[in-house]
Amino acid sequence: SFAVAPRVWRLSLKSFADQLDALAEECFGPAGLVVTYPDLDSLTEVLAALPGSLTGSVHATPGDAAAAARVVTALRHRVGRLIHNGWPTGVAVCWAMHHGGPWPSTTAPLHTSVGATAIDRWLVPISYQDWPDDLLPAELQDANPLGVPRRVG
């Protein structure tokens, strides 16, 4: 069997900024990076240099509202989903899920790679006009023999 032990690394904002290209890469697996920072100005400067990302989490208490607002301002054009006091969820094919956002978090800001509207990103639309039911693909036939969920209105 294959397993990886969870790891958390801690480093300073300066070390993170000096290695931004390598450390800002997406990492899959049980890994975390804690970056300590000396002041909010330094932090927001580095946040503004981050590449685009699908999500950004801001952890703050009610007393941190002003600082959190500055962090959100630095992140809001870099990420597609801002999360308050939480972690990015897994993805699901449902109407509420969007995984993407404005450039640079995605190259296709009108679409998402998950969720119910993800099909729009990969769809090759073909219209069948005036075709008899028996000549249509099975998923388009009135009887719906494949049981495809539909939104018909």
pLDDT at 126: 79
The answer to whether residues 4 and 16 belong to one domain is: yes
This prediction's pTM: 0.62
State which residues form the domain around 64.
1-88
Residue 65 in this model has a pLDDT that exceeds 60: yes
Q: Which residues contact 80 (CB under 8 A, 6 or more apart)?
A: 53, 54, 55, 98, 99, 100, 101, 102, 105, 106
Domain match, 3 and 74 both: yes
pLDDT digits (tens, 9 = 90+) for 5-63: 899 999 999 999 999 999 988 777 788 899 999 999 999 999 999 988 878 889 999 99
Q: Which of 38, 69, 88 is the last residue of a domain?
A: 88
Tens of pLDDT, residue by residue over 95-119, are 666 666 666 556 666 666 666 666 6
CB 115 within 8 A of CB 96: yes
Q: What is the rounded distance in angstroms from the CA atom of residue 55 to the CA atom of residue 76?
A: 10
Residues 3 and 56 both lie in one domain: yes
Pick the residue with more confidence: 21 or 93?
Answer: 21
How far apart are alpha carbons 97 and 46 in whole angstroms?
A: 29
Total count of domains within the chain: 2
Q: Is the pLDDT of residue 70 over 90?
A: yes
